[in-house]
Amino acid sequence: MIDLRSDTATLPSPAMRKAMYEAELGDDVLGEDPTVNRLEEMAAERLGKEAAVFVATGTMANLVCCLSHCQRGDELILGDKSHIHVNEAGGVSSLGSIHAHTVPNLPDGSIRVEDVLASVRSPENQHHPRSRLLCLENTHNICDGAAVPLATVNALADAAHANGMKVHMDGARIFNAQVALGVPAAQLVERCDSVGFCLSKGLAAPVGSLVCGGRDFIGEARRWRKALGGGMRQAGVIAAAGIVALDEMVDRMAEDHENAVRLVQGIAPSPHLDTNPSLYKTNIIYFTLNGTSPHSTPIFLGRLLERGARVSVSNARTRRFRAVTHYGITARDIDAAIAAITAAAAP
Ligand SMILES: *Cc1c(COP(=O)(O)O)cnc(C)c1O
């Protein structure tokens, strides 16, 4: 089965399993797990921040950061297609009492500086919530996996800081952005006050994310992690895989990007689906069945499954699908997936 539903479908590498088996452990809530401590130091160094804290998921990373930056009733500004807004069960609102102010995401995953500036509230006005935080996302999942360029990130971060706000980067796939743009992740988040990234996606670790930022901020983030039930004990058993992920799995994601381009170029000639190969530079692609394909979303998925491949549904009504390449998917798998998708879309 060629599983292109998500890069979360990756299984740990043999080196990860070995590292997990051999990991030196302690109680991480007491700060005594040497493997977690090492992973946190590595992550802080890679992202160019003072400190880091290991958390269970990317969602927890974002939540811990928003809770650490914002007080109850504060406002955070974020893209209307951002993962935090669309795909995290509304946690910033339900758990953080944080007021979300959305601005439109552009197709390239960015948001307009003008829209951010127009959204900032006047701090003296008692009618308004306080504008506290700007959240960015790189690469941008819903916006075609776009890698947002450094200049764009910096312009947005500068605009937020000039208006007294902090900046959080949802960098679940920040290393895909590094690989696609040829710009080190540390530089991409240099002007961000916090960043979260996932070990469990293209980096192929089984579990875990990191939050990186200044020393005081990470102290606050640790407190919120505990409050959310995310203080894990001998977490070194999973952190060990994360160390291997950072050491061995970053640069290889160039192969995932090549495979995604190969996939989208391979399916584009089909008369039964619409996509735009020129959009895709990372490991995520989208395509839509057009009017010449008679199949409903579930029928298409069934036909694809019969042919040995899976993709995820982006919009069941418009028949828009997402395919994500990752560790474990080879160029040969991609050729088989092209044939399967093309055949499944045909009448
Ligand atoms: C996957 C993802 C997350 C959340 O990660 P989980 O580990 O699944 O909670 C956050 N942001 C983006 C952009 C993601 O793609």
CA 4 – CA 334 distance, rounded (Å): 10
**pLDDT tens digit string along 234-290?**
999 999 999 999 999 999 999 999 999 999 999 999 999 999 999 999 999 999 999
Please, are residues 196 and 47 in contact by the beta-carbon 8 Å criterion?
Answer: no
User: CA angle 327-235-199, nearest 5°?
Assistant: 25
Please report the pLDDT score of residue 123 as a whole number: 83
Ligand 1 pocket: which of 10, 65, 141, 195 to mutate (most atoms <8 Å of CB)?
141
Q: Residue 30, Cβ neighbours under 10 Å: how many?
A: 9
Nearest atom (ligand 1) to Cα of 139: 13
Query: For all residues of the chain together, what is the average pLDDT?
Result: 98
**172 CA to centre of ligand 1 in angstroms:** 6
The set of protein residues with a Cβ atom below 6 angstroms from ligand 1 is 57-59, 62, 83, 137, 141, 170, 172, 198, 200, 209
The predicted model gives 55-60 an average pLDDT of 98
Contact 170, 62 (CB under 8 A): yes
What percentage of the chain reaches a pLDDT higher than 70?
A: 100
Over residues 178-204, the pLDDT tens digits come to 999 999 999 999 999 999 999 999 999
Return the pLDDT at 258.
98
Ligand 1 centroid from CA 124, angstroms: 35
Q: 108-122 pLDDT, tens per residue?
A: 999 999 999 999 998
Q: Which helix (DSSP H) or strand (DSSP E) does residue 243 occupy?
A: helix 236-248
